[in-house]
Amino acid sequence: MVEAFEILGHAFFGMIAGFLFLWAFVELLNLNENNVKRMQIATSIASASGFLGLIFGLSYYLEEYGVKDTGDKYIIKGGDWWWAHAFFTETKEHFAIMGFFLMVIILLLVWRVDLVANHSAKKAATWLMGTLVLGVLILEGYGAIMAFGLRIGLGGT
Amino acid sequence: MSKDGSMDSWILGSSFAFIIISILNPFIVIGKEKSAGFKDFFVNLGKVLGMEHHLYGHLWFFIILFVIFTLLFAYTTLGESIANALKIDDYAKLAYWVVGSVLFFFVIISFFFLLEVLE
């Protein structure tokens, strides 16, 4: 039950972060005095959600996934899709940590700089927001491959 | 603001900290995987911080590095000196470097773990 809560929380908050970063990205493409507040709020909630997604993911990894011999990690490694851990989980860990720092930069950028007046800063925020959207999509995809790896490891097809 | 007022010093500092960590991260990972001593370092760091799992070691190590580099670049002229040397005079050029470092990190770390799988 706790495992389901952690993994669903991880996927849920990650997805919410992705949608809200996409929302903020679209707002940035047509930024003006009327929607700047909305973009800032969307970015802040997205970052908070992304942070929660990381916490849930970390908790799941430590409490369930990586438990010696019985954790999901060992089930995946024992199955035909063993590389779902060896490549996708391993890289996902590091992408997620870097995503945390990228969220700090984007928060500083949207709250500390007048993006409506400063076109260079707006362009920077758009690029970083786009990178975060793409990053969340990659992380979600990697998570799905890990889930398939677990299913295969449990004898499913 | 930064000393010449063109960019916010916190954004400049955190961006440079991010770029450095992006470049260091894959090599630290490679070092950890290839060297028992390096791995012990991460595990011990986690234990020092009251956390047993190496993932906490990773997380704290990078958070500590990020904070130190951000403060270093934000409170000294080092960040601006590097920005001048790299001809980074506005936010857009800074963002290109950040996105470039993400790509570098992505490619190197994927390549490393792919090699591990193929071995």
Q: With an 8 Å Cβ cutoff, are A90 and B25 in contact?
A: no
User: Which residue, B103, B27, B39, B96, is CA-closest to A95?
Assistant: B103
pLDDT tens by residue, B71-95: 999 989 898 899 989 999 899 999 9
Shortest distance, CA B15 to any CA of chain A (angstroms): 7
Nearest to A87 among B11, B55, B114 (CB): B114
Q: Does A48 touch chain B (CB under 8 A)?
A: no
Distance of CA B106 to the CA centre of its chain: 13
For residue B1, what pLDDT is reported? 46
How many folded domains does chain A comprise? 1
CATH number, domain containing residue A61: 1.20.120
Q: Does A63 touch chain B (CB under 8 A)?
A: no
Structure tokens at A99: 């995503």
Structure tokens at B48: 């020092």
Q: Does A94 touch chain B (CB under 8 A)?
A: yes
Question: Domain of A50?
Answer: 2-153
Q: Scanning every residue of chain B, which has its alpha carbon at the shortest distance from the alpha carbon of A66? A: B53
d(CA A135, CA A116): 25
pLDDT tens by residue, B11-64: 999 999 999 999 888 877 776 666 666 667 766 766 776 666 666 667 777 888
Residue A150 has pLDDT above 80, yes or no: yes
> To 10 degrees, what angle do helices B36-48 and B54-75 make?
80
Q: With an 8 Å Cβ cutoff, are A91 and B62 in contact?
A: no
Q: Write the CA distances from B65 to B25, B55, B59, B71, integer angstroms.
A: 11, 15, 10, 10
Residue B9 has pLDDT above 50, yes or no: yes
Mutate to test the interface with B, among A87, A89, A101, A104 (most CBs of B within 10 A): A101
- Whether the Cβ atoms of residue A73 and residue A89 lie closer than 8 Å to each other: yes
Q: Scanning every residue of chain A, which has its alpha carbon at the shortest distance from the alpha carbon of B104? A: A95
Helix (H, G, I), strand (E, B) or coil at B2: coil
pLDDT tens by residue, A54-67: 999 988 888 888 88
Q: With an 8 Å Cβ cutoff, are A124 and B29 in contact?
A: no
> To 10 degrees, what angle do helices B54-75 and A90-112 make?
30
Q: If you ran DSSP here, which 8-state letter would residue A7 be given?
A: H
Using CB atoms within 10 A of its CB, is residue A117 exposed (0-12), middle (13-18) or buried (19+)?
exposed
Q: Scanning every residue of chain B, which has its alpha carbon at the shortest distance from the alpha carbon of A115? A: B91
